[in-house]
Chain A
Amino acid sequence: MSLQTLTYLVVGASFALYIGIAIWSRAHTTGDFYIAGKGVSPVANGMATAADWMSAASFISMAGLIAFLGYDGSVYLMGWTGGYVLLALFLAPYLRKFGKFTVPEFIAERYYSKTARIVAVICLIFISFTYVAGQMRGVGIVFSRFLEVDVTLGLVIGMGIVFVYAVLGGMKGITYTQVAQYCVLIFAYTVPAIFIAIQITGNPIPQLAFGSEISGAGVSLLDKLDDIVTSLGFTQYTSGTKSRVDIFCITLALMVGTAGLPHVIVRFFTVPKVRDARISAGYALLFIAILYTTAPAVGAMARYNLVNTIQSGDVGAPDGNLVYEERPTWMHTWQQTGLLRFDDKNGDGRIQLYNDANPEFADTAADYGWQGNELSVDNDIMVLANPEIAGLPNWVIALVAAGGIAAALSTAAGLLLVISAAVSHDLVKGIFLPDISEKKELMAGRIAAAFAIMVAGYLGFDPPGWVAQVVAFAFGLAAASLFPVILLGIFFKRTNKEGAIAGMLTGLFFTYGYIEYFKGLFLKWAGAPWGDNVAEHWLFGISPEGIGVIGMLLNFAVALTVSYMTAPPPEHIQHLVEHIRVPRAID
């Protein structure tokens, strides 16, 4: 069977599975639609959270990113896992005890304010749309590479699938589909990793192979990698180029941002009990960790494979580099997608891959007769091309395609649901039409979901500048706006409406302004970015990716100061805080 047919078959089968689950788990009430009727077991919720969380970026891009960043890539590994500790310790059990439907709803009730609710909805919508556009794009890319359809058509198919199970099944449908999607994506991720680990080190467990010796070489993978990349003018793999303070802040912003992402928080509303919410965060991180500890191993092995293939002989020797005409087939395939490009700058018919941006290496390169780096490799290739690089059978390649699509769809669905809930529950029911019947609210939720899918599809099809800044913008906003006020709402009884609103707005505008200034988001037409995005110009040496930390600190500081300067929250709010702090109901 050809790869093409096989891929259609595997991806088609996975779609049939998702739709089947959606029909089986249709939502009948608003409780089903928003929080799956609070009936999800902690293990199932853990899997669903893992699939919800691990996006196209985690599945497709992260290992490749780490392969090129080396130690600096640790910010993503620690940042996107450590947030679950904060979630378990500070938010999940208490929000579950609160027991309502959405994150803005908590903020509205705790801070007895419609204004606070609207500010929270605005933050939520920006965060979620930024995030979802990337997922739709991911679906399009996987489709175009593996099924050889147009990116746009791929995107429309992806929208159609999400439409069926998000609109029909709501949270309930999404949850059980995500459980299936987790199984597909984790299998698709680990199988090629195991094969490659065996090929390079003989150890089948990628996490161990990462620290093992290369078969027959008598030197460990990481030492060899350090050695070979420095001889090509790159920074050592195990040390990075980012400053300590920036690494610190980016990691912290990603952790706090993770804990503040509405589509992650809301997953913990779906379990039956407070203690389920705590343990469920553990299961979620366990399932996430399987991929997140494999990814750096895949990154290192992929980098080694790539460098070793190109630099087939001694560095600097005339016959040390791969002859272009003898390149392996996977390079042919990926050249067609434009994600891999070759330009024979010195005309020797061989491929040179080295760091031509390193001034200290320039003389050495000139001595070798090299006239610039000749191969540019897109990060995303690393995971997608892995099975081909390792020469694995076609069914594994088909599986990776299905896994990439599962990762993108599961995250997209979770995001679309929180967007639709924010519209139907927080805006329609909470602000404009408080007397709306449950049936009508459910209908409003479905319409909002359908509308959100259209917008997401459009953003994925023609991404405006701001959606490219997922890491800085979505995580920065979540860290600087939502996380602090939710935490204060639970742990500091004295925080009041005035403090929360002032804090959220400060965090929001500071973080947004900084990112706009250095990267340009919505004001490109007015000349943004205005600042040169280099370390010398950054505040305290913190890049836009890490600035959410300062936004968060400002939010805390302003919220507390304003709260203590204004009247304390009313009696019933103090009682509400007492109520959410203990698992059992109090009178």
Chain B
Amino acid sequence: MMISLNHYLFLAAFLFAAGLALVLTRRNVVVVLMGIELMLNAANLNLIAFARYDPLHLQGQAFALFVMVVAAAEAAVALGILVQLRRTYQTSNLDEIKALHE
């Protein structure tokens, strides 16, 4: 039995679902960010798996590289804002960060 395209797709779907579950259920900002990272990696895996069948060669692989770089930048911005937030709220729990609304 060879590792076929479907195996990659199922693994990616599992990663995506796991990431989404983390994002939806966890309340700690850092854990939510980890979930988002999982979702992005699921998309990356898909892109790279599909890149094999790309007649124009490797568009998917190049895309995955850019996704990784952008994700790192986004994570850096998120952590920067979080450091700022902790000074005000003394917590990184999303349920306790709720001074707006009121």
Answer whether A and B are interacting partners: no
B-contacting residues of A (Cβ < 8 Å)? none
A-contacting residues of B (Cβ < 8 Å)? none
